[in-house]
């Protein structure tokens, strides 16, 4: 596991976009696993800028991690809307190459199976992840077990509370979501976990330097062969010694 610490989320986003460019330029049909929330926005801004500078994304396929249940793609807080606002409307990724779970599918179990088939047919070369304050990746919440396939999840109260800032009222926050399972995440060739802000420092330390355990889902990334953790100085705070250097485990 590599750890990279930047002075700002902006600088970190440029770095992650450069990693994505390497994948895009080196693969005939590159597949990017994408995340939502405020954390990856600097990455999307930098990737859009690279496209404006000449990076062709027409061969790219994208597979998003998750979606709220009950929000259709026209809802301004759906993850589909988020992706179109921050990335898809600004670049030349073909619409038919863009995949997100359908949060209003009439048969949610069938939708989970459909999404697993998409992931199986499009092995992910680079998976972008954020991390929840409770350690969730995607919406794989802390639990006694972590599910391997795409599944329906009941969101933990701390997740609902954290996401309430995007809604007018906490009562509007969906309580369920569809999420890619941990197996699909771990099968990606390369994983980049991004985290910014002091509120993420404790869970980053648990995930990076702690034991692998299901009640800290992000800790399972320690089992992957190629993970880069991209932080700002606030989120890296508990990984550093008094001189500002990385502590050993």
CATH code, 142: 3.40.50.1360
Is 227 part of a structural domain of the chain? no
pLDDT in tens, the chain (249 residues): 999 999 999 999 999 999 999 999 999 999 999 999 999 999 999 999 999 999 999 999 999 999 999 999 999 889 999 999 999 999 999 999 999 999 999 999 999 999 999 999 999 999 999 999 999 999 999 988 888 999 999 988 888 888 888 788 888 888 999 999 999 999 999 999 999 999 999 999 999 998 999 999 999 999 999 999 999 999 999 998 877 788 876
Is 236 part of a structural domain of the chain? no
Give pLDDT, residue 144: 86
Is 115 part of a structural domain of the chain? yes
pTM listed for this prediction? 0.94
Give pLDDT, residue 94: 98
> Please, which residues have CB within 8 angstroms of residue 242's CB and are 6 or more apart in sequence?
none
The whole-angstrom separation of Cα 90 and Cα 161 is: 31
Question: Containing domain of residue 63, as a range?
Answer: 2-209
Is 44 part of a structural domain of the chain? yes
Q: Is the distance from CB of 159 to CB of 139 less than 8 angstroms?
A: yes
The whole-angstrom separation of Cα 84 and Cα 65 is: 15
Q: Which of 179, 178, 134, 130 is nearest to 157 (CA)?
A: 134
- Describe the crossing of helices 9-26 and 41-52 by its angle, rounded to 10 degrees: 50
Give pLDDT, residue 24: 98
Q: Is the distance from CB of 125 to CB of 187 less than 8 angstroms?
A: no
By the 10 Å C-beta count (0-12 exposed, 13-18 middle, 19+ buried), 184 is classed as buried
Q: Is the distance from CB of 48 to CB of 87 less than 8 angstroms?
A: yes
* Stretch (H or E) spanning 6: strand 2-6
Is 242 part of a structural domain of the chain? no
Give pLDDT, residue 147: 85
Is 221 part of a structural domain of the chain? no
Is 142 part of a structural domain of the chain? yes
* Stretch (H or E) spanning 231: strand 227-232
The total number of structural domains that make up the chain: 1
Give pLDDT, residue 90: 98
Q: Is the distance from CB of 176 to CB of 154 less than 8 angstroms?
A: yes
Is 101 part of a structural domain of the chain? yes
Catalytic residues: 66, 134, 136, 141
């Amino acid at each position: 596991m590599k750890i990279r610490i930047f002075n700002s989320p902006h600088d970190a986003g440029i770095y992650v976009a450069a990693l994505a460019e390497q994948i895009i330029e080196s693969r005939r049909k590159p597949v990017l696993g994408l995340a939502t929330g405020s954390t990856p926005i600097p990455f999307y801004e930098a990737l859009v800028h690279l496209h404006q500078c000449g990076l062709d994304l027409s061969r790219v396929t994208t597979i998003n991690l998750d979606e709220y249940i009950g929000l259709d793609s026209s809802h301004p807080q759906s993850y589909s809307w988020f992706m179109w606002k921050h990335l898809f409307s600004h670049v030349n990724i073909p619409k038919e190459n863009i995949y997100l779970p359908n949060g209003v599918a009439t048969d949610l179990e069938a939708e989970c199976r459909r999404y697993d088939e998409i992931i199986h047919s499009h092995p992910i070369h680079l998976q972008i992840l954020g991390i929840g304050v409770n350690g969730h990746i995607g919406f794989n919440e802390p639990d006694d077990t972590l599910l391997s396939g795409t599944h329906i999840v009941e969101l933990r109260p701390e997740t609902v509370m954290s996401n309430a800032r995007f809604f007018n009222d906490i009562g509007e926050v969906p309580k369920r979501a569809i999420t890619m399972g941990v197996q699909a995440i771990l099968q990606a060739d390369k994983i980049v976990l991004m985290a910014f802000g002091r509120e993420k420092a404790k869970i980053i330390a648990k995930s990076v330097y702690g034991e692998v355990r299901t009640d800290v889902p992000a800790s399972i990334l320690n089992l992957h062969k190629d993970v880069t953790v991209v932080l700002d100085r606030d989120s890296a705070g508990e990984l550093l010694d008094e001189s500002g250097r990385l502590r050993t485990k």
